[in-house]
Structure 1
């Protein structure tokens, strides 16, 4: 028996004789790292790899292992188990995880040129990397749920391949020498300049944003809302801790003696140089409201601020009534709430009409709705969190309402179902050239849900995720529990029920869930 091994030249000839269909069948089964190596073997292999990975792709996974290294390895192995080229990554970890230890682990596998945002959050949502079980997990003060799950620990990782888009991380820096408002203007200009450099637009198609929990984000988000096109979707978490890695090393600045990081944005912009025949990626945003109005509108009369406690003191009057102190105002609201008062937090939603500008551009007026938590009241004042309220502003009280939130989730689910049916109907009408022409494919989704929601709010599990699970059960989905949900879009899915509501901007929500759905419409030339 001849045990002689084939020569390297004969092996090359064998690979050369392999037809493209067989080669494609083999390569499409490779994990991402091996797939990337295969694409470098030859021009013909690269061509086949490009055909395999020609369409956008999202991959996500959750691990709740208490060991940091094991958890990170599990999610990386899962998201890289199939062919994909990471154009961006978002990782969210529990408060028990050290961000400075997690980021190098991600960079060592995904590479320093992959834009990454890593944040610590109040909970994570997604499918388990090993079991594929869907989980909504809020991190708890309890140490362990069992030997393997630490309720301070856990990670959800999402990576995306998005041909036709350019993606990078833009930080909002603050220095002791420059006022914060100037840095916000610079943040807006940095996003615009990046977008202009890679596309034909001044506004990106989407921004996923994370704010520092110790920094007031309202003014930042209001400025972004004013400066960006109405078509730009903005979602994210108002209050977290984060680290990031940008493709541009000049942007990779850490907190230190000269700079502080107030927020960071993952910016998605259209690629002006996208290959011919590449379809269109779209961002769709929807909102499940979690608060309901209670009582009549009030008008702020006397307004004072306490800078040390970051609290506003105010008196107010009901329309056509006398001036009321804080105790009188709250007594009236408690009467309206009845037996719901014991467990109900309170917010005021203030309608503000203000001048706003971006950089040297001419200022314009916007009307916005801003929520402030109610801190208490006495015989002098009503006390609310935050600043920015003026005498003459109108406000209304709101309280968390599980029934309203559940109905709102069902409305979002209905809209997602209609979107799916409309896409299928359009596909049927356009058949004849290619079955996929005109059909919108859902790539993946993100959820930004208030940390006050979840099973304790609704009395059952997976309510916040139900719009995705009911309509797109096979689609990759990742989510987090936030301390303030950022959600802005031109879509009718933002919970605006009247023309009056649609004229009032509200981008920062409470007790809500913001849904981001990414879709892809193939180009007519794609088969």
Structure 2
């Protein structure tokens, strides 16, 4: 199994395509079974030219990609680089003996109803659950069905890793581009299903730290939390979330109080049975607003009585600490198992991270390389990131999702 990536920052699309193909093919030195291409939105007006140009130089049986406001790849010095807001083209090629690779495009109108049987989703993808596929998904950010697609794939392929992101632009109305098997698509989702001699392990860094204690939802409807009680049932009366929040804010340091004004989030525990909850056990969701009269809060997800929640803060330091903790944990677990090392990796990072968050470029990608060196890394900055939390797949924000591929 071989995996390589090439990154070009040439402003000419023809020159960029030629450069990445030559570099990647020379480095791979084997037939490519899979291709992934990420192109800067600085080239948005030329998206229609990318596939014909690639086809001139490259023949690979399964190819997907998309456009992004920032592109991640390996430069000529073989170090990771994040190019934000400037022309860039990243090409990943992989030689995967014993792996079946299927590329697909799904239009929003072709999505089955969520009440459909699992085999409806299986027929849509064309891969049997018994093949234990791993999924890479790239989607149009304006597609209304991305959450339905994620939920449907979890239903049909339980336990399968699913990672990816929503295509992004420059913020100046640039068009969205999705690519699958040398075709340009403007909507829907493109993806790869990888099955056979491959495992894709995931790291989902949501970049938050918990504050205060964990509470149990005593009353809630849709995405509105109406009542909270301390985690242990029967240890206290139900209180309004606003009461709890005011008390929590008063207990914080001055620095955290300032941070809470703009960077306060809600973590929803995904494991109903785990007693001691850690950072990775929460699905981080936006705090949408407060209703002072009822003392209720609205969050960016559905809630139900009995669920546990905890308030969280996010800033550059916390995001860095969170990612480092997860990378260190993965490195420790990987080294203790004796399993084959990763050969290639993908990174899907929120457009809200990068240099705008950390004040310097290449932070997340270079931190990854510090812990997992000699693994080619590529990806892009997303309008939303797809990755698992506690065994279920979700659409995230402000997150960096990594997929690390190795032999089974």
Judged with a 3 Å threshold, the aligned counterparts in structure 2 of structure 1 residues 465 and 179 are, in CA distance, closer, same or farther, namely closer
Rounded Cα–Cα distance in structure 1 between residues aligned with 2:117 and 2:397: 23
Match of 1:91 among 22, 37, 40: 37
The residue that corresponds to 2:328 in the other structure is 414
Rounded Cα–Cα distance in structure 1 between residues aligned with 2:251 and 2:68: 34
The residue that corresponds to 2:90 in the other structure is 156
TM superposition shift of 1:509: 4.1
TM superposition shift of 1:158: 0.8
Q: Contact conserved, 1:208 with 1:267, CA < 8 A, in 2?
A: yes
Q: What SS is found at the alignment partner of 1:487? A: strand
Match of 2:66 among 98, 119, 128: 119
Q: What SS is found at the alignment partner of 2:21? A: helix
Structure 1 gaps of 5+ residues are: 1-55, 140-150, 271-279, 305-311, 355-367, 427-438, 489-493, 495-501, 522-527
RMSD after superposition: 3.7
TM superposition shift of 1:125: 1.9
Q: What SS is found at the alignment partner of 1:349? A: strand
Rounded Cα–Cα distance in structure 2 between residues aligned with 1:302 and 1:384: 11
Query: Are positions 1:217 and 2:146 aligned together?
Result: yes
The residue that corresponds to 1:76 in the other structure is 21
The residue that corresponds to 1:237 in the other structure is 165
Query: Are positions 1:291 and 2:202 aligned together?
Result: no
Instruction: Kindly report which structure 2 residues correspond to 1:90-489, keeping only aligned pairs within 5 A, or say none.
Output: 90-98=36-44, 99-111=47-59, 114-128=61-75, 130=76, 132-137=78-83, 139=84, 151-175=85-109, 180-181=113-114, 188-190=121-123, 193-195=126-128, 201-204=130-133, 206-214=134-142, 215=144, 217-230=146-159, 232-238=160-166, 240=168, 241-246=176-181, 254=185, 261=188, 263-270=189-196, 280-296=197-213, 297=215, 299=217, 301-303=219-221, 312-319=223-230, 320-324=236-240, 328=243, 331-338=246-253, 339-343=255-259, 344-351=262-269, 370-380=283-293, 381-385=296-300, 388-390=302-304, 393-415=307-329, 417-418=331-332, 440-466=340-366, 468-488=368-388
Judged with a 3 Å threshold, the aligned counterparts in structure 2 of structure 1 residues 175 and 449 are, in CA distance, closer, same or farther, namely closer
TM-score, length of structure 1 as denominator length: 0.61
Structure 2 gaps of 5+ residues are: 169-175, 231-235, 273-280
Rounded Cα–Cα distance in structure 1 between residues aligned with 2:24 and 2:198: 20
Q: What SS is found at the alignment partner of 2:26? A: coil
Judged with a 3 Å threshold, the aligned counterparts in structure 2 of structure 1 residues 189 and 456 are, in CA distance, closer, same or farther, namely same
Q: Contact conserved, 2:200 with 2:404, CA < 8 A, in 1?
A: yes
TM superposition shift of 1:518: 2.0
TM superposition shift of 1:238: 4.4
TM superposition shift of 1:162: 0.7
- Higher RCO structure (Cα 8 Å, ≥6 apart): 2
| More moved, 414-423 vs 236-245 | 414-423
Rounded Cα–Cα distance in structure 1 between residues aligned with 2:333 and 2:284: 31
Q: What SS is found at the alignment partner of 2:302? A: coil
TM superposition shift of 1:126: 2.0
Query: Are positions 1:519 and 2:399 aligned together?
Result: no
What do the CA deviations read for 1:25-48 (whole angstroms, capped 9, x no partner)? Answer: xxxxxxxxxxxxxxxxxxxxxxxx
Rounded Cα–Cα distance in structure 2 between residues aligned with 1:61 and 1:187: 38
Rounded Cα–Cα distance in structure 1 between residues aligned with 2:51 and 2:299: 37
| CA radius of gyration, larger in | 1
Rounded Cα–Cα distance in structure 2 between residues aligned with 1:289 and 1:59: 27
Rounded Cα–Cα distance in structure 2 between residues aligned with 1:121 and 1:401: 23
Q: Contact conserved, 1:455 with 1:462, CA < 8 A, in 2?
A: yes
Rounded Cα–Cα distance in structure 2 between residues aligned with 1:408 and 1:167: 33
Q: Contact conserved, 2:118 with 2:155, CA < 8 A, in 1?
A: no
The residue that corresponds to 1:277 in the other structure is none
TM superposition shift of 1:267: 0.5
What do the CA deviations read for 1:13-67 (whole angstroms, capped 9, x no partner)? Answer: xxxxxxxxxxxxxxxxxxxxxxxxxxxxxxxxxxxxxxxxxxx221211222333
Q: Contact conserved, 1:409 with 1:466, CA < 8 A, in 2?
A: no
What do the CA deviations read for 1:224-276 (whole angstroms, capped 9, x no partner)? Answer: 2343242x3221114554423249xxxx7956xxxx62x23211012xxxxxx
TM superposition shift of 1:73: 2.5
| More moved, 400-409 vs 117-126 | 400-409
